[in-house]
Amino acid sequence: MLERGEVANSWRTQRWESLRLLTPNWQSRLPALRYEGADPDGYMTVPEVVDFIGRFAKLSAAPVRSSVTVTSVQRVDGDYLVATDRGKFRCQAVVVASGACNLPTVPSLTDAVPQSITQVTPFDYRGPAQLPDGGVLVVGASATGVQLAAEIRRSGRPVTLSVGEHVRLPRTYRGRDVLWWMDASGVWDQRYDEVEDLTRARRLPSPQLVGTPERSTLDLNALSETGVALVGRLATVRDGAALFSGGLRSLIALADLKMDRLLDGFDEWARVDGRDADVDPPERFAVTAMPERPRLQVDLRSGEIRTIVWATGFRPDYRWLDVPVVDAKGQLRHEGGVVDSPGLYALGLPVLLRRKSTFIHGIEDDAREVIGHLAGYLAGRK
């Protein structure tokens, strides 16, 4: 196992200070390692995640070679030649487990943003104190965007949130964590080959959730109540002005509709599975309040906005992979983790084998299947 940093490197180096997992403690399950602390319904802080993954590395005695950066992987005579900053390896098979979120995705229109504006990605952001005083435009309203918008607003700065496609979820539903429902009802176990539109499912933004001790819901209504101004999707930056799409109303309506459909599915599962007595009665949440007149543009030269936070997603980085298996969109071509090159495998990508594939608790089932295939491949080579 080659790791360019230390075990849990992404959690040590690429997360903001206040971040907690949005998955509850009881759900952080790894093979033979379960959360056994006093707060199973709480949410781990980043140092706690680092500790948890570190404990798993010790427990599993994984042969990790840390501080080794892979610089190239090539296919040579049916094997793979792996070049690193600490020498070369020749191997029969390679598992690409380098993560789905190596780089922040930032739209190309950053170049058109006036120089007076500070631009920050979630990888640079540590906390509001590092930002200049004044207004902040947060672009993107998925898990990262809503969490950063809320935190920056609490620091007293005016915050405008540009809302694109998003997934609305309540933190708790019928008295249970909404992720308990995803887990218990089997939504998270749904396999990639059962998903209706796999391409879409793999691109689905992360849900609007935050892990707080209060188990609070962080949706657009909660943000509006704190004074965050909602605007539509950022369409472009032209002549120093940020221009927002007029489609906010339909995006909000769609997210509300999809949330209700998911909750309907949970209710149906509880009824059929005989769980109604274990949970509170069904509930529905207020529709998302549409701002009266959402602004369609903001002049970025006026001084109103001093910072833009690009919470526009993350992507993997395969610049080191010299095997022609990456498509035009920068994604690995694979079938359930079996990459389109003999002996090459992947883990930890969105809906790799199941809906839970990118979550900490999703790795166990996926790894078992992918490594099963790999073992068969190696046996076949003998």
Q: Write out the residues near ligand FAD by the rule CB under 6 A.
A: 2-5, 9-10, 15, 21-23, 69-70, 97-99, 101-102, 144, 314, 320, 348, 358-360
Q: How far is the CB of 37 from ligand FAD (least distance, A)?
A: 16
- Comparison of 117 and 360: residue with beta carbon closer to ligand FAD: 360
In terms of C-beta density within 10 A (0-12 exposed, 13-18 middle, 19 or more buried), how is residue 261 classed?
Answer: exposed
Q: Give the DSSP H/E element, type plus range, for residue 301.
A: none
Q: Which two tokens stand for residue 190?
A: 């749904």
- Comparison of 62 and 253: residue with beta carbon closer to ligand FAD: 62
- Comparison of 68 and 163: residue with beta carbon closer to ligand FAD: 68
Q: How many CA atoms lie within 13 A of 61 on its CB side?
A: 0
- Comparison of 10 and 245: residue with beta carbon closer to ligand FAD: 10
Considering only CA atoms, which of 205, 204, 208, 160 is closest in space to residue 309? 160
Q: How far is the CB of 110 from ligand FAD (least distance, A)?
A: 20
> Which residues are 242's β-sheet partners?
237, 298
Q: CA-based angle 294:298:300, to the nearest 5?
A: 160
Q: How far is the CB of 348 from ligand FAD (least distance, A)?
A: 3
Are β-strands 305-310 and 135-139 bridged in parallel, bridged antiparallel, or unpaired? parallel
Q: How far is the CB of 98 from ligand FAD (least distance, A)?
A: 4
Query: If you write DSSP's letter for every residue of 205-274 in order, what string do you get?
Result: PPEE----TT----SHHHHHHTTPEEE--EEEEETTEEEE-S-HHHHHHHHHHHHHHHHHHHHHHHHHTT
- Comparison of 117 and 182: residue with beta carbon closer to ligand FAD: 182
Q: Give the DSSP H/E element, type plus range, for residue 128.
A: none
Q: How far is the CB of 3 from ligand FAD (least distance, A)?
A: 5
| Cβ pair 298, 158 in contact under 8 A | no
- Comparison of 9 and 190: residue with beta carbon closer to ligand FAD: 9
Q: How far is the CB of 8 from ligand FAD (least distance, A)?
A: 7
Give the residue closest to ligand FAD by C-beta.
99
Q: How far is the CB of 380 from ligand FAD (least distance, A)?
A: 27
